[in-house]
Amino acid sequence: MPRHPASRTSRRLASATRSRVRGAALAAAVTGLLLVATGCTSPEVVLPTGPAAPLRVVSLGDSYSTGTGPAEPLPGDPGVCGRTVASSVRVAAAAVGAELVDAACDGATTADLAAPVER
């Protein structure tokens, strides 16, 4: 019995559809593998070769910056500015191993920032 021409067309469409589905599945699988493969690598870290410059922290401000309050006065400080061992900038600088330039002084104002620093 001869086949109807429409059945041949139906088979071609079904075959083409299967091919497209297989192609899409293969493309999705390859894309997924590439994403996983590239996501698992980390960029190379380049560290500086020379010695780092020393970290220096400068404390500017009034009594809030000096740590004035019940804290112990800073040993060796003349006491004029009220600097203490509990100054938040002093504590932070010590925690990271930084050199501290302490120019904070009780009663300091914005105008004092332009004045010479007395240590």
Where are the domains positioned within the chain? 1-42, 56-114
Nearest 5°: the CA angle 76, 96, 68 is: 40
Across the chain, what does the average pLDDT equal? 80
Segment 100-111 mean pLDDT: 88
How long is the chain?
119
* Contact assessment for residue 58 and residue 77, using Cβ atoms and an 8 Å cutoff: no
Segment 18-28 mean pLDDT: 79
Question: What pLDDT does residue 5 have?
Answer: 57
2 or 26, which is more confident: 26
Rounded to two decimals, what is the model's pTM?
0.50
In the three-class reduction of DSSP (H, G, I as helix; E, B as strand; rest coil), residue 111 is classed as helix
Alpha helix positions (H), 1-119: 5-39, 63-66, 88-96
Task: Compute the distance between CA of residue 119 and CA of residue 117 in angstroms, rounded to an integer.
Answer: 6
